[in-house]
Structure 1
Amino acid sequence: MKSKIILIGILGMFLMSCGDDFLTIPSETALTDDIFYETQADIEAAVNAVYAPLRALYTGSAATSNGANAAYIMGETHSDNARYIVNPLFRATENQEQVADFIQQASNSVSTFKYQQNYQVIAAANKAIATVDEAEIESENTRSNLKGQALCLRAFSYFDLVQYFGSVPLHLEPVTTFEGTALPLATTEELFSQIIADLTQAIDLLPSKSNQADLGRVTKGSAQMILANVYMVQKNYAAAETVLKEIVASGEYALMADYAAVFDPANKNNSESVFEIQYRQGTDGYSSTFFYGMVPRPMDQSTVATLTSVGDPLPIADATMCTPSPDLIAAYEDGDLRKDATIDYAPDLYGKVFPFCKKYLHPHQYLNNTDDNWPVYRYAEVLLFLAEAINEQGKPVSEALSYINTPVGNGSVSIRERAGLEPIIAGSQEELRDAIAQERRVELAFEAKRWLDLARTGKAVEVMSAYGARVKADPAAYYFPTGYNPPASAFSQIDLVWPLPAAEAMYSPYF
């Protein structure tokens, strides 16, 4: 026994004498930050990791094919543009239904997913930003591009968070300790200040669209558009106008002549694309599922085959979380070509016909595995924001209308011409304000814009209260089967921001 004690003591002295190097041999399977972020390839991989959570955020969690946590539920179903379809045989949709019914709880899985995915973007961006300046990179232009991408995407995620949650923690450095995961809530003023600072820096660092080697990465125009959106939310219309006109003057963008073609996977990252989330069908995990979250469910095998052209179609079950509302369908003017490009109809398993969004319906090879990208910002929105910014400053109505009614820059068509409609006629600032809001609604339907538009323009409470009253008065018109009604608490309170997630509160004393 005594000899064992001596042996242990000698071994302990030996280990102590070896110093930290012996005790901190890096794992061969999990590289530490100080080893990983040293070369250009390391930083490129780090920046690629910043994009990855956005793919999950916009298509929904990997475990679901009906987009149960997709960003469009909070942007569209949480508005008067879309509703869910109740499936009496599948009731595991309470969280998604609460989003649509404005029952906003801290435990909601959809809002929690949005919060967590955005912070994954931010965490990855912080690591890249903290190390890019010291890494060995072949050229300063490459270094600037990589840093600009990380700054732009960090700002984009904080902008998403502040719009949906208000005050949130402001992490600007990589978290290296457990204590560092919990920071006080930053004010919205502090958040906006950092967002603007990041975007301003990114604009100076990023290349133009035509000079960005890899399609799909954020560019100078992407950062400018996010910044312009920030200014629109802040009602700093003069600043927004300046940035938006810079995008137009760049000559990098133009409307496509065919509205439906904008969303065709054959035209990914087209002349109208300012920023879109990249997906790729196949078995490598990069596919999208937007169509499956919007098509009537459950659906039989033959209808699936007819719509999708998949080689081995199967019935699809569950429930639909994002169906065009009667209100959105009625919002289109007669003859608006965007309606046919956006909305179609199909039967569910029981033969009942429902509308669905067809923007993201294109032939693909595998079930629940599509090739469509998500359009975050399009040039059409640049022009609509510009018209709005000009109008809100009280400038001539004709000046604002020129960005909607006539071709701009390199484009051969205007927004209205492309839609097959006559020019908008407005005699006052208020008339034009309403016309622009209407135009944004139908032009950007099912692009996760409607709720944010209602919130930033101060219309959310008025519009959603009236909408909720209509849903409750006629549930059948809003896709409730016989015997089903919205909850009594639905639409009883229209909150502009979501409570911070309960799942995060256990890690922070500030929630």
Structure 2
Amino acid sequence: MKRINSIILLCIAAFFAACNSDFLEKTPQGELTIPQLETVDGVEGALVGAYGLLNGNVNGTWGNYSSAPSQWLFGEVGADNAHKGSVNGDQPNMNQVELYDVSVTNDNTEIMWNRYYEGIARCNNTLRLLKAVQAGDGTKFSDARAVEIEAEARMLRAHYYFYLVRTFKNIPYVDETIATADAITIPNTEPVWPKIEDDLKFAVQSLTPAKPKNEVGRVDKIAAQAYLGKVYLYQKKYGEALVLFKDVMTAKGNLVDMPFENNFDVTKENGPESIFEVQHNINPDGSGDNANVGDMLGGFYGSAPVNCCGFYQPTFDLVNSFRVTAQGLPMLDNSYRTNPYKSDFGLTGNAKTNYQLDKTIAFDPRLDYTVGRRGVPYRDWGIMAGDAWIRDPAYAGPFVGVKHMVEEAQFSGQTVSGGRYITGLNVHLIRLADVYLMAAECEVEAGTLGEAMRLVNAVRARAAKLPGKVVDGGPAAAYNVGQYAAFPSPEYARNAIHFERRLELAMEGHRFYDLVRWGVAKQVLESYSAFEGSILSAFKDLVFDAKDEYFPIPQQQIDRSQGALTQN
């Protein structure tokens, strides 16, 4: 589904109608007035425009990094999974996110705020137009399609608000009943979660498992159920969430039979594991404003087939978290930090030049489908070359990400001409493994530890089926994924689930928000800083305070509100 950038809703139409000047009464060429949009085609176009903001982009390609649907900056760089990458002086405001010291003038928070409120505005405009069309004298939608459109728009609005509330916490709520001119006066003191719930409940009640208009990129009942369950989970409403997660798992089938790697294959998008994903496309003319522009800085450097821009590098801590015990289980006590694997980092001279991959280390195979490391095949690009693909390994380490890139064989047609760092790869907002692990959390709180373990083991059984990477005719590591035999206590179960979410969903934008909702952000991130900082000094002795669990409201928005908004 392509984004519509040509729909311009003129909020000052009433002003033009009230003026006596003949000049002001003329409709500007190339723009559509509200009456022109009050048609069935206008409503459908406005709805497509509301879907369009899912990729975090209003127009062009550059500058949408913090509003990326993958949330790589806030969700991964802001946690313990990824470094900003590049060099220290590049995008310095991103350093603030990584160092837990974000100012009120940081442009990344401003972009996040603007893009997602633009998405909300498009949803509200769609709902206003729909109401006008159904109340008017012209052609109307069938009752069924009218309800379906309302459900689509309200679910999209819930998504945009969810991204904002978990990032900023205290935000103003504006719906279709509030005039645009009055929006600036709305304070950020009222709870937003109930409003998000209401929109998602309507979507659950009004949508079916079939995609509206048979278009794969649209939301459906299953996506609404999963999203409402996630919203309940964030509020610790475990019982309500579990009912919805069970419905989703029943509808979607057996996760174990769905290959992990297909989630990150541009030729297998919207597959059986997909629940809600952002549709990205390279335009017919080769341009990329409908593509995955949010992740574009994650291209590599130097001799890599994609050599811009060197951002978004996995941490040593994340890489080592994929190490496993002799039983193939995660090292839940963080003992993976003992004698850590560093690839060729810190080596010099002949030792660096002649570095050989240690194939004896016991790793979960998901590592090499999440992280590129020297000496291991990277997609179909060939052997990952190490520093030759990295902008400044001394600053951000020797590793690169995998999930956000595409195969070299897919560059033609799936990347922007002259800008291979912009791809047509979709981004998962919710996929089935995510639901399994959220359901497992709920089962622990319900006291059903056996069922929680079954769900975690299902995710691990699927991981065990991943084909290990091969180097010189043999496996690149001692790959091993074992099954839990017992969850002896709720505390153990929670730790296992938290760890599994990290392994399964690494580099997909969840990590920071998970740590905050679990109430462990300070403990985990300061412990991470002590380890990571022992290798990369820039990340040593970081302090994470309670205020750092949410990001400051952009000062520009505070100023514009003329006193309506209160800073976090």
Residue deviations 1:248-280, cap 9 Å, x none? 222478555321122100011110001111111
Instruction: Provide the rounded CA distance (Å) in 1 between the counterparts of 2:482 and 2:426.
Output: 30
Give yes or no for contact 2:82–2:313 (8 Å, CA) kept in 1. Answer: yes
Equivalent residues in 2 for 1:138-287 (5 A)?
Answer: 138-173=141-176, 176=179, 178-187=181-190, 190-209=191-210, 213-251=214-252, 254=255, 257-281=258-282, 282-283=286-287, 285-287=289-291
Per the TM alignment, residue 61 of structure 1 is displaced from its structure 2 partner at its CA by 7.7
Quick one: which amino acid aligns to residue 76 of structure 1?
E
Equivalent residues in 2 for 1:88-487 (5 A)?
Answer: 91-135=89-133, 136-173=139-176, 176=179, 178-187=181-190, 190-209=191-210, 213-251=214-252, 254=255, 257-281=258-282, 282-283=286-287, 285-289=289-293, 292-296=296-300, 299-300=301-302, 303-305=303-305, 308=306, 315-316=307-308, 319-320=310-311, 322-332=312-322, 333=324, 334-345=362-373, 346-347=386-387, 348=389, 354-362=398-406, 363=408, 364-365=411-412, 366=417, 367=419, 368-395=421-448, 397-406=449-458, 414-418=461-465, 421-425=481-485, 426-472=487-533, 474=534, 477-478=535-536, 485=538
Q: Flag the 1:351–1:328 CA change in 2: closer, same or farther, 3 A.
A: closer
1:510 is aligned to: 564
SS at match of 1:394: coil
Percent identity of equivalent pairs:
25
Quick one: which amino acid aligns to residue 323 of structure 1?
Q
SS at match of 2:157: helix
Per the TM alignment, residue 214 of structure 1 is displaced from its structure 2 partner at its CA by 0.7
Question: What RMSD over aligned residues (CA atoms) do the two structures have, in Å?
Answer: 3.0
1:63 is aligned to: 62
Q: Flag the 1:429–1:386 CA change in 2: closer, same or farther, 3 A.
A: same
Per the TM alignment, residue 355 of structure 1 is displaced from its structure 2 partner at its CA by 0.8
Instruction: Provide the rounded CA distance (Å) in 2 between the counterparts of 1:380 and 1:33.
Output: 43
Instruction: Provide the rounded CA distance (Å) in 2 between the counterparts of 1:62 and 1:256.
Output: 37
Give yes or no for contact 1:255–1:271 (8 Å, CA) kept in 2. Answer: no
Residue deviations 1:287-326, cap 9 Å, x none? 2256643344xx22xx233xx5xxxxxx535x52x21111
Instruction: Provide the rounded CA distance (Å) in 2 between the counterparts of 1:158 and 1:152.
Output: 10
SS at match of 1:375: strand
Per the TM alignment, residue 338 of structure 1 is displaced from its structure 2 partner at its CA by 1.1
Q: Flag the 1:361–1:142 CA change in 2: closer, same or farther, 3 A.
A: same
Instruction: Provide the rounded CA distance (Å) in 1 between the counterparts of 2:203 and 2:391.
Output: 52
Residue deviations 1:64-88, cap 9 Å, x none? 49x4664210010000111123526
Q: Flag the 1:492–1:244 CA change in 2: closer, same or farther, 3 A.
A: closer
Per the TM alignment, residue 387 of structure 1 is displaced from its structure 2 partner at its CA by 1.1
User: Aligned residues, how many?
Assistant: 460
Query: With structure 1 as the length reference, what TM-score do the two structures score?
Result: 0.82
Instruction: Provide the rounded CA distance (Å) in 1 between the counterparts of 2:211 and 2:540.
Output: 51
Q: Flag the 1:504–1:437 CA change in 2: closer, same or farther, 3 A.
A: same
Give yes or no for contact 2:258–2:462 (8 Å, CA) kept in 1. Answer: no
Per the TM alignment, residue 180 of structure 1 is displaced from its structure 2 partner at its CA by 3.3
Residue deviations 1:444-480, cap 9 Å, x none? 01110001110111111111122233344x2xx23x6
Give yes or no for contact 2:67–2:116 (8 Å, CA) kept in 1. Answer: no
Query: With structure 2 as the length reference, what TM-score do the two structures score?
Result: 0.74
Instruction: Provide the rounded CA distance (Å) in 2 between the counterparts of 1:422 and 1:212.
Output: 43
Give yes or no for contact 1:169–1:184 (8 Å, CA) kept in 2. Answer: yes
SS at match of 1:226: helix
2:81 is aligned to: 81
Q: Which has the larger displacement, 448-457 or 283-292?
A: 283-292
Q: Which has the larger displacement, 163-172 or 287-296?
A: 287-296
Per the TM alignment, residue 181 of structure 1 is displaced from its structure 2 partner at its CA by 2.4
Instruction: Provide the rounded CA distance (Å) in 1 between the counterparts of 2:169 and 2:116.
Output: 14
Residue deviations 1:140-167, cap 9 Å, x none? 3322222111100111111111111111
Quick one: which amino acid aligns to residue 394 of structure 1?
G
Q: Flag the 1:54–1:264 CA change in 2: closer, same or farther, 3 A.
A: same
Instruction: Provide the rounded CA distance (Å) in 2 between the counterparts of 1:107 and 1:421.
Output: 45
Instruction: Provide the rounded CA distance (Å) in 1 between the counterparts of 2:195 and 2:557.
Output: 22
Per the TM alignment, residue 97 of structure 1 is displaced from its structure 2 partner at its CA by 0.8
Instruction: Provide the rounded CA distance (Å) in 2 between the counterparts of 1:510 and 1:234.
Output: 26
Instruction: Provide the rounded CA distance (Å) in 2 between the counterparts of 1:87 and 1:60.
Output: 27
SS at match of 2:484: coil
1:26 is aligned to: 27
In structure 2, list runs of 5 or more residues that go unmatched. Answer: 1-16, 134-138, 325-361, 374-385, 467-479
Instruction: Provide the rounded CA distance (Å) in 2 between the counterparts of 1:156 and 1:109.
Output: 22
SS at match of 1:133: helix
In structure 1, list runs of 5 or more residues that go unmatched. Answer: 1-15, 309-314, 408-412
Give yes or no for contact 1:391–1:432 (8 Å, CA) kept in 2. Answer: yes
Instruction: Provide the rounded CA distance (Å) in 2 between the counterparts of 1:465 and 1:61.
Output: 38
